[in-house]
Chains A and B, each alone.
Chain A
Amino acid sequence: MTDRPITAGAGRALSPGMLARFFAATEIDTRLVGMLGALAVIWIGFDILSGGIFLTPRNLWNLSVQTASIAIMSTGMVFIIVTRNIDLSVGSVLGFIGMIIGVAQAEYLPQLFGFGHSLIWVIALCIGIVVGVLIGGLHGFIIAYLGVPAFIVTLGGLLVWRGAAWWVTSGRTVAPMDQTFELLGGGADGSIGAAASWIVGIIACVAIIAAIAAGRRRRKRFQFPLRPLWAEAFLAGIASAAVLGAVWIANAYPWPVGIAKRYAEANNIPIPEGGLYIAHGIAIPVLVAIGVAIVMTFIGTRTRFGRYVFAIGGNPEAANLSGINTRWVTMKIFMLMGALCAISASISTARLNAATNAQGMLDELYVIAAAVIGGTSLGGGIGTVAGAVLGALVMQSLQSGMVLMGLDTPLQNIVVGIALVLAVWVDTVYRRRTT
């Protein structure tokens, strides 16, 4: 291979086509664009097939809430798969932690603080996260320090924690959850409303523009090649439009008439003609998922820990020879995964308003599939958090679309399974052609 002077990010601009130059200038990941394209095809396809009920604010809002739990865990799975490990236990861990959280807030904490105390939800959540970190730490310790393959350890975990979840209450379902805690699950109350959603959207737009500007300033300071101004403006514009569009959709989904009526009666609001319109806005679990995705992206790309995760995935021996404590990093990755399982467990118990034995069953497969569809390579070293979240959205879209169309469950599983294999095959072909 010969050296030739090329500008930053132009490494893939081998053909001088317009499109290639466009992608080079904006430094957009073409893979991510491909995934968005696939998502668009799925959405539009289902919308046509279902007679126009897929692309409605209501369905998209529900889709966002349903995706949250899997999306949160898939961000952690990216780190795990990137370091050439696997975690088959996340569904069972979610089930176990859900039980612990449920029992804590429905049975123990009310005895201590009194029923409906405002601290209950926080303490329950903290207990869940601590338990999650401990479980993840145990898995990580056995994998990293005792040298048992992750596949085996977490396969054991799959059985152990499912059994443990049963053991907590001998199989009894725990309900109801604390009222504040329930907000984590979404629903009419668990959404932040129209005004707050717009504020969140505008803050996000400002943050996007500020980040692009800051990046440009830093490059200038070190005299690195800069993106053309039009490319920066395009990126800022498209990202802001996406954010505001999502907010608009969330706000276009009003509360169901019954709930709005009860709310109006409770608060003495006169009901106008044509019904009271109260927008859902962004659901709290979705906000949590977005927050987790941002934090995980930050950890993966801006911190030393994240750099080590990818270096270990690229070449474990090299990472070790570079003086990285690869074992401790591995253990920390699993602890992080445990904490994320706890967050997902909170969301799914809150959404169900109950902790059940079967919670999170098969979630490990959806989480791994989401990460892999999102471009995480099982060979290690490659993967992005944003990709995994998109992957989770693709999986959930497929599922939700098939439910709308009234497909039988066995057929749904067949389609999801085929989609997974297909996605990975397309990705393999793509990688072969670009690198």
Chain B
Amino acid sequence: MSDTQASGQAPLVEMRDISIAFGGIHAVENVGVDLYPGEVVGLLGHNGAGKSTLIKILSGAYRRDSGTILINGEEVHIENPRDAKALGIETIYQTLALADNVDAAANLFLGRELMTPWGTLDDVAMEAATREVMGRLNPNFQRFKDPVRALSGGQRQSVAIARAIHFNARILIMDEPTAALGPQETAQVSELVLQLKKEGIGIFLISHDIHDVFDLSDRVAVMKNGQLVGTARTGDVTKDEVLGMIILGKCPPGATPGPGAMDTEGLEVEPA
């Protein structure tokens, strides 16, 4: 948020000059984004623009080729999802990343199971905790014994969201969080985002659809062809201008241009 940024406080997350290539394709090239506590940053771009790839580097799913990641101003090494989780980075993946054959509780605690004093799984305690967190997120949810395969899209989504917020995340990444949801559930997710924001959690909201995120975001960062077109405070730009950034890579006056921005003559600026 503008207040925190002005105070010169170190950002919660800062990704600098991040690059990753798969084979010969530069999926992400010298991209830098940051995120402050209690801030929502919308990461926008076409399908294939590199948004998900960038964010998977932060969540530990991919290992970057170059660049640095700073959390609270300190450089960190994220080699795998475990490292990211240890730093308080939780991710809701576009695919939801649920194990379809086990129930909601098993998914919620996957990788972080509650154990009894004898070293066995404490299923009852995990189910109790799941009932509690799901009661807050989706009070109608009752199917605690069914494998998540049997759940509806919205219910699966709430399991994935519950998993991300149950463990006191500081940084939340939501990759197309409303893609599988109806209007009512989408509104619920928006409410949740505002609530988490109030709690001081930093949120990356990823979408290819500007309407999903513009109203929720404090800032937007737009990517195109693996490069950063620019960042802008949502108060300083219009939706149309952001659309221009997404489609053409054209940076409006209210935005801070990145290496991927088109210059005024319509020629692409060489990346640094």
Contacts and interface: CB of A to CB of B under 8 A. Distances in A.
Q: A and B, one complex?
A: yes
B81 A320 contact: yes
Interface residues of B, number: 42
A303 B116 CA distance: 10
Given A307-B102, A313-B101, A318-B97, A324 B143 contact: no
B127 A321 contact: no
Interface in A199-234: 218-219, 221-222, 224
A381 interface: yes
B187 interface: no
Given A311-B102, A323-B80, A3 B140 contact: yes
A9 to B, nearest CB: 6
A11 B142 CA distance: 10
A140 B112 CA distance: 24
A418 interface: no
Interface in A1-51: 1, 3-6, 8-9, 11
Interface in A299-355: 301-304, 306-307, 310-315, 317-325
B91 A304 contact: no
B173 to A, nearest CB: 11
A321 B81 contact: yes
Interface in B110-158: 110-113, 115, 119-121, 124-125, 127-128, 140-147, 149-152, 155
Nearest to A219: B124
A382 B99 CA distance: 12
A315 B128 CA distance: 24
B100 interface: yes
B97 A324 contact: no
A435 interface: yes
A381 B99 contact: yes
A34 B235 CA distance: 64
B101 A382 contact: yes
B93 interface: yes
Given A311-B106, A323-B111, A218 B124 contact: yes
Contact of A9 (B119, B121, B145): B145
A1 B151 CA distance: 7
Given A1-B152, A382-B101, A435-B150, A6 B143 contact: yes
Interface of A: 1, 3-6, 8-9, 11, 218-219, 221-222, 224, 298, 301-304, 306-307, 310-315, 317-325, 381-382, 435
20 contacts: A218-B124, A222-B127, A224-B127, A304-B115, A306-B121, A311-B106, A312-B99, A315-B99, A317-B97, A318-B96, A318-B97, A318-B110, A319-B111, A320-B61, A320-B81, A323-B85, A325-B82, A381-B99, A381-B100, A381-B101
